[in-house]
Amino acid sequence: MSAKVGGKKIKYFHSVRLKEDLCVGCTHCIRTCPTEAIRVIDGKAVISDQRCIDCGECIRTCPNNAKYALTNPFKMIENFKYRVALPAPSFMAQFDSDKISLDKVYTALNLIGFQYIFEVAAAAELVNYATEKYLKTTTKKPVISSACPAVVRLILTRFPEFVDNIAMLEPPMDIAAKISKELVMEREGAKENEIGVFFISPCPAKVTAVKQPAGKDKSPVTGVLSMTEIYDKVMSVLKDIKKVKKFEHAGKMGIIWGVHEGEIESAHVKKKVAIAGIHNVISFFENIEQKVFNNLDFIEAQACVPGCVGGVLAPTDKFLAKIRLKELAEKLKNSELQPEKVIKRYNMDFFLLEKKPEPRNISKLDTDLIKAMEKAELIDQLTAEFPGIDCGICGCPTCRALAEDIVLEGRASKFDCIFILKQKIKNIKDELEGNEKLNRKKPGK
């Protein structure tokens, strides 16, 4: 399996990793992986670098905690004189606001080492304005939100036909990084390389989006920290807080981005739809009829249920977090950051991606149509030979995937299928027994 973009093979970075010693080769993960990126080979899971989209489904499923999301180490912040925390909207829902106010949480962020806190929700408010403008001017409808990096990578790997529909807009995280850097440079007279901006992430795909962005060469974000790790650090220092500082907060329209249907809420278009859950996104893209698709204006698609609060790095129960975030959004309602004024400082270029994200074209069987057809026939034939129960014992997620691996990779063998192997052994046994009977008959002729 190799993806070639612009003629050269690309090595893909991934946040989602395997702790080999914990993996027992149980095959749970291979079934839930939405891009069929995992195989169990010699008793251990192996993740395909070309297919993985860092959605984190395998982390959620693994009963042995053998999958994890690599984030930047917290110590990384010490490399910078000026340190900015960019809490994702979902971070705001991790704490019970009746007991721990948002201002108290942010004061704790100050205590653990961040001099500045810039809510990504505030950037989301600005992206709402940019999206409005983009929806009015683009000729490519429907527009698919570019905010969820796992969905963007899903489109690049499995649905290259929708690449042109991805919004050419920077996600709120990136806008937050750009603006907060500007602010610190202005306020402190700091140089850019003295400032570290760190996203507090519910999501492994965001780590990948920073390390290897789609649609630009370099991310403005310095590092991505695990929301669970930051949650623990915040909880640990709460008792040391003497005085809670006052912070300005984004309003409803930005905060609500952390949950399903939050982003489309402020898009003023007629036909909009929101999908949550990576498998739901796949089924939507696979089954939607072309005509219906063409009639849509805007699609919000998120890999997690019920939105980013359901990310694998978010510690609080996702449905509880959803309710909390909605309550918070209603309580804060109007932004204290005057987005309607701030937006005037930036032109549309500030919000646009530098270049079109490149599809990975991994679904093609061959570049030559005749060869591709031969391979497709072979895959169909082999699939028909297998029992079709997708048991996973061969290490592939489905019988068809095993057939594909045999035809396309030459790695697997059809005797990896326990049923085919058993049949083969039975045939050999019958043959041996048959020979024996013949032998036994001989003396008595």
**Binding site residues, other proteins, CB under 8 A:** 160-161, 286-287, 289-291, 361, 363-367, 369-370, 372-373, 376-377, 380
- Between 118 and 162, name the residue whose CB sits nearer to other proteins: 162
Nearest CA among 30, 32, 34 for reference residue 44: 30
- Between 41 and 365, name the residue whose CB sits nearer to other proteins: 365
At closest approach, how far in Å is the CB of 375 from other proteins?
9
Q: Report the distance separating Cα 315 and Cα 48, nearest Å.
A: 27
- Between 294 and 413, name the residue whose CB sits nearer to other proteins: 294
At closest approach, how far in Å is the CB of 273 from other proteins?
16
Q: Following DSSP, what letter does each residue of 6-59 receive, concatenated?
A: TTEEPPPP-SEEE-GGG-----HHHHH-TT--EEEETTEEEE-TTT-----HHH
Decide: 420 and 388 in contact? Cβ < 8 Å: no
- Between 261 and 374, name the residue whose CB sits nearer to other proteins: 374
Please give the C-alpha separations between residue 328 and each of 85, 322, 325, in angstroms, as whole numbers: 20, 10, 5
Rg (CA), the chain: 26
At closest approach, how far in Å is the CB of 164 from other proteins?
9
- Between 292 and 320, name the residue whose CB sits nearer to other proteins: 292
Please give the C-alpha separations between residue 207 and each of 89, 150, 178, 224, in angstroms, as whole numbers: 16, 11, 17, 6
- Between 190 and 365, name the residue whose CB sits nearer to other proteins: 365
Containing H/E element for 273?
Answer: strand 272-276
At closest approach, how far in Å is the CB of 168 from other proteins?
18
Nearest CA among 311, 340, 338 for reference residue 325: 311
At closest approach, how far in Å is the CB of 371 from other proteins?
10
At closest approach, how far in Å is the CB of 372 from other proteins?
5
Task: Look at the block and give the residue holding tokens 């937050």.
Answer: 176
Containing H/E element for 103?
Answer: helix 102-112
